[in-house]
Chains A and B, each alone.
Chain A
Amino acid sequence: MIEHVWLVPLLPLAASLVILFFGREGEHSKMPYLGIAAIGAGLWISLRIIFDAALGRAVLPYEADWTWYSFAADLGGRPFIFDMRAGVLIDGAAAVMLAVVCLVSLLVQVYSLGYMHGDPRFKRYYAYLSFFTASMLGLVVSNNLIVVFAAWELVGVSSYLLIGFWFEKEAPPYAAKKAFITTKLGDLGFFLALLLTFAYAGTYNLTRLKELVGMGYLPPLALTLIGLGLLSGAAGKSAQAPLFIWLPDAMEGPTPVSALIHAATMVAAGIYLVARCYFVFLASPFAMEAVAWTGLVTAFLAGTMALVPYDIKRVLAFSTVSQLGFMMAALGVGGYTAGLFHLTTHAFFKALLFLCAGSVIHAVHTNDMRSMGGLSKRMPLTFTTMAIGSAALAGIPPFAGFFSKDMILEKVFEHSPAMFALLVLTACLTAFYTFRMLFMTFLGEARDRERVAHAEESGSAMTVPLLILAGLAVVSGWLLQHGHAFASFVGSGAAEAGAHAAETAGSGAHGLNPMVLAVGMTAAAMALIALAYSLYGGPDQSRAGRLKERFLPVFNLLENRWGFDAFFLALVDAADRLAELCRWADTEVIDKIFVDGWGLLTRIAAEISHLFDALFVDQAVDGCGWLSRDVAGRGLRSLVARGQVQEYLLYLAVGVSLFAILR
């Protein structure tokens, strides 16, 4: 089965093109089923790969590639044939990622049948979804960094198209542009890393690169720079500080899109890239430390920012940023398995949360949690599944998030207790804001009776994916943790042998007792959930209001996202001013002095030249004419041409005689 893995990205791509160019637009278009079939086939292949690998029928890592292009070059007299090869490289992480992307994409596409039903651009929506999935899968499987980069940018384009899907509204086009431009800022670093990679290693093949790095072929400084460049790209795509500002705005897209792209898969691309190029980071301690701190700072900042929004999707967006920070921090401290484990579980429960939020929004037609409350009676299924998702996110056992989060915390504690403390604080915040959202939405009195009274449970196209994801959110953590299944599977692939050994060796020596950590974290989470209940769960929400009054400056700071938006706006503003200055310098200085001045100089020179011409050259020419016409001509004429024919004849005779004599 594994030799057909190239089909996984190409099937959705084909489906997307067929839908886009041959499908009929309309509310009752049958085109969505094509996209669902394509991604279903992809899921089938990826699951088969995992089972084959687990049963030992296939060997990971699996690599197959084909010549993309090749050309002959001349290297200082030595002939050299450059062969650019592109293909697939499937290691444990890639296999897991493939399955996660396919599964979430499939569920989201099924869910969208209900959520997007009746949208005038139904067909186009599915074409974009399939296109996004294809790009993401291409990114996951490719063994060539250039192809990874291309897919990475295609993912960015699809994200742009989907965030701005409802372009007739006011906010989405701006959000789409913001997301695109902000991620491009990070991609710049990625691109520089690519250039450096080729300059130092001469190849983009990941396996080859890993060998070269392992042999110590690349200088440490280059490795650090490449690592930082990759981190910059990952920070853009995975919404890490300070480039996370686009993710909350990206919630303007349709909610299933938020679930697929901005929670489960696309934002995981950055984490995945760091994991895929982990050998670079392992070789450069500085880059590694940068990854850890980026993740940590992001996790904490986003965690605090998630405390205050009233838009249900914004809360989830900030929590996504925060959880991505957890993964990044895990990778940064050497927790390769922990990071990928959290990536997997997070993909399930965050997609679940988003889809639940979508279900709520579909029912009450607003994102504002202040207009909700008391929905648990109207939408029991959504409430149950969302509670499961929230428990998973908050890290309550035995839900999925508990296992992965504890794994990360253990790794971070081994690395640095200070980082551990900050991350524990963030984890507590996670529990609080998650249940704040849940309680505000579902419990208490209905604050907007009109809306809540008309809310109804969504149809089966939407609830079935919810149930499946809820099931995964319950069991995936326990299942994958069981007997170190995930660790050995991912570790069996391209994971760094050294890192894996360090992970297994380190956890016994000076690590934290996992039992103590688990009990402590659970207790803290429970306490904070109780606090959230007392503030937001009951019918009386005045205490929450009073709390807000009291800490208004802090609230405002958090609502303004720690001033990051203002910071970037100021940057843009400064760039505008700089551009204005440049324009001024151009028109006023360069144009006036250099261009116009040069013109003036030329004119003056031309005037002088003209004067010289008129005074001397022309006069000389005229003088020659005058000399020959008036002086010589007239004199000669009066002397010789006197009109006497006989004189002429005489001249003739004399002339002929002279010829005769002098010949």
Chain B
Amino acid sequence: MTLTLAHYLALGAGLFVIGIFGALTRRSVIGILMSIELMFNAANINLAAFNRFLHPEGVTGQAFALFIMTVAAAEVVVGLALVLAIYRRWDKVYMEKIDILRG
């Protein structure tokens, strides 16, 4: 059996679903950040796979994947900074406690 595009897409979808699930269910902000990373990586797999199977002579998809990794790193930096700020403010990092945006 050879690996087809569908396999890769299935893998990306699985990773994405796991990421969503984590982001929606984790109580800790750290966990949510990690789940978001999973979703980024699911997108990266898709990009690389499309590049490999639909457009093998180019590298556009891989280049985009690299960009996304850079952006994800920057986003994590901001996220962790927010986590630190939240912790200093309220001494906790549980999402259900942080509801100052409630209407």
Contact = CB atoms under 8 A, between A and B. Distances in A.
A78 B30 CA distance: 103
Given A644-B95, A644-B96, A653 B24 contact: yes
A645 B95 contact: yes
Contacts of A638: 103
Interface string B2-28: 000000000000000000100111000
B102 A643 contact: yes
B102 A642 contact: yes
Contacts of A662: none
Interface in B81-103: 95-96, 98-103
Contacts of B23: 646, 649
A644 B101 CA distance: 8
A640 interface: yes
A653 B22 CA distance: 13
Interface in B46-97: 95-96
A421 interface: no
A640 B99 CA distance: 12
A656 to B, nearest CB: 10
A644 B95 CA distance: 7
Contacts of A653: 20, 24
A650 interface: yes
A341 B103 CA distance: 118
A640 B101 CA distance: 11
A637 B102 CA distance: 8
A641 interface: yes
Given A649-B23, A653-B20, A642 B103 contact: yes
Contacts of B96: 644
A641 B103 contact: yes
B103 to A, nearest CB: 3
Contact of B101 (A641, A646, A649): A641
Contact of B24 (A640, A641, A646): A646
A649 B24 contact: yes
Interface string A189-203: 000000000000000
B56 to A, nearest CB: 28
B103 A637 contact: yes
A312 B20 CA distance: 132
Contacts of A644: 95-96, 99, 102
Contacts of B32: 646
Nearest to A648: B101
Contact of B102 (A641, A646, A650): A641
A641 B99 CA distance: 10
B90 to A, nearest CB: 13
B24 A643 contact: no
B37 to A, nearest CB: 15
Nearest to A650: B24
A487 B95 CA distance: 135
A646 B95 contact: yes
Interface in A607-663: 637-638, 640-646, 649-650, 653
A627 to B, nearest CB: 18
Contacts of B20: 653
Most-contacted residue by chain B among A645, A649, A653 (CB, 10 A): A645
Nearest to B36: A649
A345 to B, nearest CB: 119
A547 B95 CA distance: 139
A461 B46 CA distance: 133
Contacts of B25: 646
A637 B25 CA distance: 23
Nearest to A634: B103
B73 to A, nearest CB: 22
A360 B95 CA distance: 131
A228 to B, nearest CB: 98
A212 to B, nearest CB: 100
Contacts of A637: 103
Nearest to A642: B102
Most-contacted residue by chain A among B23, B102, B103 (CB, 10 A): B103
Contacts of A650: 24
A646 to B, nearest CB: 5
Nearest to B102: A643
Contacts of A646: 23-25, 32, 95
A650 B26 CA distance: 13
Interface in A115-150: none
A636 B95 CA distance: 22
Contacts of A640: 103
A642 B24 contact: no
A151 B77 CA distance: 108
Contacts of B102: 641-644
A642 to B, nearest CB: 5
Contacts of A641: 101-103
A642 B99 contact: yes
A644 B98 CA distance: 7
A652 to B, nearest CB: 10
A220 B103 CA distance: 101
A642 B24 CA distance: 15
Nearest to B27: A646
Interface of A: 637-638, 640-646, 649-650, 653
5 contacts: A642-B102, A643-B98, A644-B96, A644-B102, A650-B24
Given A642-B102, A645-B95, A646-B23, 6 more contacts: A638-B103, A643-B99, A644-B96, A644-B102, A645-B101, A646-B25
Q: Which 6 A-B pairs have the closest CB atoms?
A: A643-B102, A643-B99, A637-B103, A641-B103, A643-B101, A642-B102
